[in-house]
Amino acid sequence: MLAGKGFTLSRPRAVPSRTSPPQLGQKVRLAGGLRSHQHLKASAAARSLSAVNDQIFNRKEELAALNEVFDDSPSELLILLGPANCGKTKLLQEVKKDRELAQAVIGQGPPPILYLDCRGKDISSPRQFANAIRQLIIGDAGLKNWWAGIKLKFPGFELDLEKIFEPATGKRPMESIIASLTTFLEATRPLPYKPVIIIDEANVLLDWHDDPGRTQLKALLRFFVRTTKQEHLGHFVLASSESFVVDFLEKEGLHTKQYVTQEIGDLATIDEAKQFVQSLMLWVSKDLEDAVKSGLWPRGFSKTGGSRSPPAWTKEDYKTVLREIFLAKEHKHAVSFDKLRVEPGEDALLSMVEWNLVGVRRRSSWAKDVPETVFTDLKDTKLVMMPSPVELYFVLKMHEDGKLDAEPPNDDK
């Protein structure tokens, strides 16, 4: 029995199927698969890409794993990584839909997943982030309905959702939103399901690089850790297409024991990537090819730095890394991080990762494109790869064209 303020709840036992409505008092074990793969606007491209898109968006195992995580008690901050266009956002949207299904019996299912998509939003400061979270919560009709259902069923549940999230006078926006979230999560403590808040494209946090921003980011990270690992009040997920976000958050105070990372893999083979490239519209392919080649001219990155550190690699450093990736055919074109720390060196390597020229992959049972045996064979917990198989395709093409050949010393044009 779970005791609350003026009411008690029994943890439901039965596990209904997705196709049958949940019975009163049941805790729903959510399961299901993604709907049909995303269709491209150009029908010809869609036909040629159908097999590839099945690989990208067919995420039944990952969906089941996420639902299982959210059904259990929160224990760690979850950082979900995956290359751009691998289906990560689609997966997160799907798990949100699965949660909504469980609200067939009002007040009995879990609260709706709160999903903040940072794309297209200006969240370059703690104030803007706090306002976005506040607007997300008070504007979510599903959450309001769920909250009203809980209040009707349990008279002791009296808190008003909008009042909880009123900005506090005399407090900075981040301090205020953390206080509001804490009150909200404490109120749901007696319930069998815990709230889930997903922040997609969390790499926007990298923009908080000034001293006040970094101080408030540290406060936010401490809140995430306290809420998940210590108090077990709610699930927080940070999703990103940039692997550097992990290194950045660790530098800002997040300890390796306070979070868990999972990787959403990409296309399984280079042949699929080649098919993908050849089927895309020309300008998309050209954009990606230019992005891969741009690493050969690091000076150009200084002009577009923003919050990122100045580039710390040379043209030859970049070519060295790409050659190693090309040569690593038997290991899925993945190279030991420790090996590249020696040559071209850790500073150069981390700078390439920060600028998303290469990615760091961590061991994850979710990632089918990089089996755990690759980590075992290379005797490392972190591997360096291209951010996506499409970019790997262009690396192979550059090698074939001789553009990765070593040049004479001191030639860094």
pLDDT of residue 365: 85
pLDDT of residue 298: 93
User: Do residues 274 and 255 both lie within one domain?
Assistant: no
pLDDT of residue 344: 97
Q: Which two tokens stand for residue 104?
A: 């067939």
Domain stops at, among 263, 295, 313: 263
In DSSP terms, 116 is beta-bridged to 199
User: Do residues 337 and 353 both lie within one domain?
Assistant: yes
Position 141 in a domain: yes
Length of the chain: 413
For every one of its 413 residues, what pLDDT tens digit does the chain have, with 9 covering 90 and above? 333 333 334 344 333 333 333 333 334 343 333 222 222 223 333 333 333 343 434 578 888 999 999 999 999 999 999 887 778 888 999 999 888 876 655 446 788 999 999 987 889 899 999 999 999 999 999 999 888 888 887 777 778 899 999 998 889 999 999 999 999 999 999 888 899 999 999 998 888 878 888 899 999 999 999 999 999 999 999 999 899 999 999 989 899 899 999 988 765 555 655 565 555 544 445 677 888 999 999 988 876 656 788 999 999 999 999 999 999 999 999 999 999 999 999 999 999 999 999 999 999 988 888 989 999 999 999 999 998 888 898 999 999 999 999 876 665 54
Residue range(s) defining the domain that contains residue 278? 270-400
DSSP string covering 192-222, please?
SS--EEEEETGGGGGG--SHHHHHHHHHHHH
User: Do residues 221 and 279 both lie within one domain?
Assistant: no
Position 26 in a domain: no
pLDDT of residue 254: 92
pLDDT of residue 234: 97
User: Do residues 144 and 281 both lie within one domain?
Assistant: no
Domain stops at, among 247, 263, 279: 263
DSSP string covering 35-71, please?
-SPPPPSSHHHHHHHHHHHHHHH--HHHHHHHHHHHH
User: Do residues 258 and 280 both lie within one domain?
Assistant: no
Give dist(CA 110, CA 143) in Å, integer: 10
Our CA angle for 127, 131, 135, nearest 5°, is 175
pLDDT of residue 340: 98
Position 82 in a domain: yes
Domain stops at, among 242, 263, 284: 263
Position 295 in a domain: yes
User: Do residues 215 and 338 both lie within one domain?
Assistant: no
Residues whose CB is less than 8 angstroms from the CB of residue 40 and which lie 6 or more positions away in sequence, other chains included? 46, 49
Our CA angle for 244, 247, 250, nearest 5°, is 150
User: Do residues 166 and 259 both lie within one domain?
Assistant: yes
Position 358 in a domain: yes
Position 285 in a domain: yes
End-to-end CA distance of the chain: 69
User: Do residues 224 and 77 both lie within one domain?
Assistant: yes
pLDDT of residue 412: 53
Number of domains in the chain: 2
User: Do residues 223 and 85 both lie within one domain?
Assistant: yes
Give dist(CA 158, CA 95) in Å, integer: 29
User: Do residues 80 and 153 both lie within one domain?
Assistant: yes
Position 220 in a domain: yes
Give dist(CA 159, CA 334) in Å, integer: 52
Q: What Rg value do the Cα atoms of the chain yield, rounded?
A: 23
pLDDT of residue 10: 38
Of 210, 211, 267, 262, nearest to 238 by C-alpha is 262
User: Do residues 256 and 276 both lie within one domain?
Assistant: no
User: Do residues 208 and 88 both lie within one domain?
Assistant: yes
